[in-house]
Structure 1
Amino acid sequence: MNKPLLAALATLVITGAGVAPAAASAQAGSTAPAAKAVDFAGTVALSNCSGSVIRFPASADSDPALVLSNGHCLETGFPSPGQVIVNQSSSRSFGLLNSAGSQVATLRANKVVYSTMTDTDVTIYQLTRTYAQIKSSYGISALTVSDTHPVAGTAIKVVSGYWKRTYSCNIDGFVYRLKEGGWTWKDSVRYTSSCNTIGGTSGSPVIDTATGKVVAVNNTGNEDGERCTENNPCEVDENGNVTVREGINYAEETYQIPACFKAGNQLDLNRSGCVLPKP
Structure 2
Amino acid sequence: MRKPLVVALCALAFAGAGVTPAVASAPSPTGADTATGAAPATSLTDAVNDTVGAAVDALSGLTAPNAGAVDFAGTVSLSNCSGSVVRMPDSAADDPALVLTNGHCLESGFPAPGQVLVDRASSRSFGLLNSSGSRVATLRADRLLYGTMTDTDAAVYRLGTTYARIKSAYGIDPLTLSDTRPAAGTAISVVSGYWKRIYNCSVDGFAYRMKEGDWTWKDSVRYTSACNTIGGTSGSPVVDSATGQVVAVNNTGNEDGERCTVNNPCEVDENGQVTVRQGINYAQQTYLFPACFGVDNRLELSASGCAVPKP
Pick the aligned partner of 1:188 from 202, 211, 220. Answer: 220
Q: Does structure 1 retain, via aligned residues, the 8 Å contact 2:3–2:234?
A: no
Q: Distance in 2 between the 1:20 and 1:229 partners?
A: 33
Runs of 4+ in 1 over 4 A off after TM superposition: 7-10
Alignment of 1:276 onto 2:299: no
Alignment-derived partner of residue 31 in structure 1: none
Alignment-derived partner of residue 232 in structure 1: 264
Alignment of 1:146 onto 2:178: yes
Q: Distance in 1 between the 2:257 and 2:192 partners?
A: 24
The one-letter code sitting in structure 2 at the alignment partner of 1:222 is N
Deviations 1:176-206 (A, max 9, x none): 0010000000000000001000000000000
Q: Does structure 1 retain, via aligned residues, the 8 Å contact 2:166–2:173?
A: yes
Alignment-derived partner of residue 5 in structure 1: 5
Distance 1:259-1:152 versus aligned 2 partners, 3 A rule: same
Q: Does structure 2 retain, via aligned residues, the 8 Å contact 1:147–1:258?
A: yes
SS at match of 1:108: strand
Distance 1:2-1:8 versus aligned 2 partners, 3 A rule: farther
List runs of 5+ in structure 1 lacking aligned partners: 13-17, 27-33
Distance 1:203-1:8 versus aligned 2 partners, 3 A rule: farther
SS at match of 2:168: helix
Alignment-derived partner of residue 290 in structure 2: 258
Q: Considering only aligned residues, what root-mean-square deviation do their CA atoms show, in Å?
A: 1.7
Alignment of 1:22 onto 2:54: no
1:6 deviation in Å? Answer: 1.7
1:141 deviation in Å? Answer: 0.2
Q: Does structure 2 retain, via aligned residues, the 8 Å contact 1:169–1:193?
A: yes
Length-normalised TM-score, structure 2: 0.82
Alignment of 1:221 onto 2:253: yes
Alignment-derived partner of residue 133 in structure 2: 101
Q: Distance in 1 between the 2:108 and 2:99 partners?
A: 16
SS at match of 1:268: coil
Q: Distance in 1 between the 2:158 and 2:104 partners?
A: 17
Length-normalised TM-score, structure 1: 0.91
Alignment-derived partner of residue 30 in structure 1: none
1:21 deviation in Å? Answer: 2.7
Q: Distance in 2 between the 1:278 and 1:8 partners?
A: 39
The one-letter code sitting in structure 1 at the alignment partner of 2:251 is N
Q: Please give the residue correspondences for 1:1-279 in structure 2 after superposition, counting only pairs within 5 Å.
A: 1-2=1-2, 4-6=4-6, 20-23=63-66, 37-279=69-311
The one-letter code sitting in structure 1 at the alignment partner of 2:233 is T
SS at match of 1:267: coil
Paired-residue identity, %: 73
The structure having more radius of gyration, on CA atoms, is 2
Q: Distance in 2 between the 1:5 and 1:268 partners?
A: 36
1:2 deviation in Å? Answer: 1.8
> How many residue pairs align between the two structures?
262
Q: Distance in 1 between the 2:299 and 2:96 partners?
A: 12
Distance 1:52-1:249 versus aligned 2 partners, 3 A rule: same
Q: Does structure 2 retain, via aligned residues, the 8 Å contact 1:21–1:164?
A: no
Q: Does structure 2 retain, via aligned residues, the 8 Å contact 1:46–1:94?
A: yes
Q: Distance in 1 between the 2:302 and 2:249 partners?
A: 23
Deviations 1:129-184 (A, max 9, x none): 00000000100000000000001001000000000000000000011001000000
Q: Does structure 1 retain, via aligned residues, the 8 Å contact 2:116–2:310?
A: yes
Q: Distance in 2 between the 1:21 and 1:84 partners?
A: 39
Q: Does structure 1 retain, via aligned residues, the 8 Å contact 2:248–2:285?
A: yes
Q: Distance in 2 between the 1:146 and 1:165 partners?
A: 22
Q: Distance in 2 between the 1:173 and 1:75 partners?
A: 31
Distance 1:234-1:8 versus aligned 2 partners, 3 A rule: farther
The one-letter code sitting in structure 1 at the alignment partner of 2:150 is T
The one-letter code sitting in structure 2 at the alignment partner of 1:122 is A
Q: Does structure 1 retain, via aligned residues, the 8 Å contact 2:3–2:80?
A: no
Greater RCO (Cα-Cα under 8 Å, separation 6 or more): 1
List runs of 5+ in structure 2 lacking aligned partners: 10-21, 25-59
